[in-house]
């Protein structure tokens, strides 16, 4: 696995390590074969796709290193290491809606991606979380390209399950007669089959399900798209805490449309088109050329880089990293 071409937490770990290692000694515990920045110390741990067992098994391999570290940036889902060694200075990131998180969290120093998520964490646990946006992207990989061709095709990207709304995106585009590329691994086979069935019922309609593609193909489809569609579809009462796919698209200069659900308005109001509801997303798409005519792709990219480029995000983290290494807790 190469952190530069894998989406999700693994990529964020690599990007944070790359930036921090410019002035600090940084180590990452990861399975053999993982490609990391050359300046980062690699601690090999066994690969295990069961995340809970994998984290606890990994502790046996790297716990001796924990005694020597100044701080642990805990980007795991289960927080096994810092819960097993709670006295080690750490910042533990949560990634999802706290109301649906099934794993335990540390008793201190929990960080949230958005104020919406932090408020939900306080409501569900009675404990505070500090807002520290960890979502970022490599500014060189996700750079705006002036001469990149732009197609008439929308794109929907991400793991294929109901929460990401790929089926809704397909239905909207079929209704409008707008072409769409759907990209992502089919983790939810029932949901994936629903998409395939819908498209089989509407052949030659311009909507294509590509399933999982390599990183370069994903980049090409994204940067050349008319815009990214993200009709978040969490069950009623739950929501999305942030969106890495939208950050990557915006850094490329691609206009994005989502709706006011979870933290979407809080995070993206100044960068993307945030409709009041899923049905009103269609209204935005119908009026797309009018709505986005004054949204320069160069400007979309520039403002996104100012907020989410990996060097910018890590620099914003540094005061908290230093204060926690010095003993701060919350």
Which has the minimum average pLDDT: 27-41, 58-72, 138-152, 259-273? Answer: 58-72
Confidence (pLDDT) at 69: 78
Query: CB neighbours (10 Å) of residue 147?
Result: 4
Give the chain's domains with CATH numbers: 9-136+310-325 (3.40.50.2000), 154-307 (3.40.50.2000)
Report CA dihedral (257, 260, 261, 266) to the nearest 10 degrees: 100
- pLDDT of residue 325 exceeding 90: yes
Confidence (pLDDT) at 60: 64
Q: Which two tokens stand for residue 213?
A: 């593609």
Cβ neighbors of 24 (< 8 A, separation 6 or more) are none
Report the alpha-carbon distance of residue 118 to residue 98 in Å, rounded. 8
For residue range 18-63, list pLDDT tens digits in order. 999 999 989 887 777 788 888 998 877 776 666 666 676 666 666 7
| Region for 327 from its dihedrals, namely left if φ exceeds 0, alpha if ψ lies in -120 to 50, beta otherwise | left
Distances (CA, A) of 260 to 89, 166, 278: 36, 17, 9
pLDDT band at 316 (very low <50, low <70, confident <90, very high): very high
Report CA dihedral (284, 288, 292, 294) to the nearest 10 degrees: -120
Confidence (pLDDT) at 5: 66
Closest CA to 111 of 79, 81, 87: 79
SS3 content of the chain, % helix, strand, coil (to 5): 40, 15, 45
pTM of the model: 0.93
């Amino acid at each position: 696995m190469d952190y530069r071409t894998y989406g999700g937490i693994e990529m964020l770990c690599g990007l944070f390590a790359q930036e921090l290692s410019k002035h600090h000694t940084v180590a990452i515990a990861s399975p053999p074969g993982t490609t990391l920045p050359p300046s980062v110390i690699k601690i090999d741990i066994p690969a295990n796709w069961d995340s809970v067992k994998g984290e606890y098994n990994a502790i046996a391999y790297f716990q001796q290193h924990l005694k020597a570290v100044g701080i642990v940036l805990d980007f795991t889902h289960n927080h096994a290491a810092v819960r097993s060694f709670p006295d080690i200075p750490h910042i533990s990131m949560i990634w999802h809606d706290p109301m649906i998180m099934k794993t335990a969290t540390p008793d201190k120093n929990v960080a949230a991606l958005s104020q919406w998520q932090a408020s939900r964490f306080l409501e569900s646990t009675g404990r505070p979380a500090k807002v520290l946006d960890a979502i970022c992207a490599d500014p060189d990989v996700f750079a705006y390209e002036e001469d990149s061709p732009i197609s008439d095709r929308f794109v929907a990207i991400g793991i294929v399950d109901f929460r990401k709304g790929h089926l809704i995106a397909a239905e909207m585009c079929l209704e409008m007669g707008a072409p769409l590329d759907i990209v992502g691994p089919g983790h939810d086979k029932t949901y994936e089959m629903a998409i395939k069935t819908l498209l089989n019922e509407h052949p030659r309609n311009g909507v294509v399900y590509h399933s999982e593609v390599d990183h370069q193909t994903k980049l090409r489809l994204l940067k050349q798209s008319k815009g990214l569609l993200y009709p978040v579809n969490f069950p009623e009462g739950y929501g999305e805490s942030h969106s890495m796919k939208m950050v990557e698209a915006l850094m490329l200069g691609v206009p994005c449309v989502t709706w006011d659900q979870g933290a979407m308005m809080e995070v993206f109001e100044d960068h993307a088109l945030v409709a009041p509801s899923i049905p009103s997303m269609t209204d935005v798409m119908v009026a797309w050329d009018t709505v986005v005519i004054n949204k320069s792709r160069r400007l979309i990219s520039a403002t996104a880089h100012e907020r989410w480029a990996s060097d910018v995000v890590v620099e914003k983290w540094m005061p908290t990293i230093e204060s926690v290494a010095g003993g701060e807790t919350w």
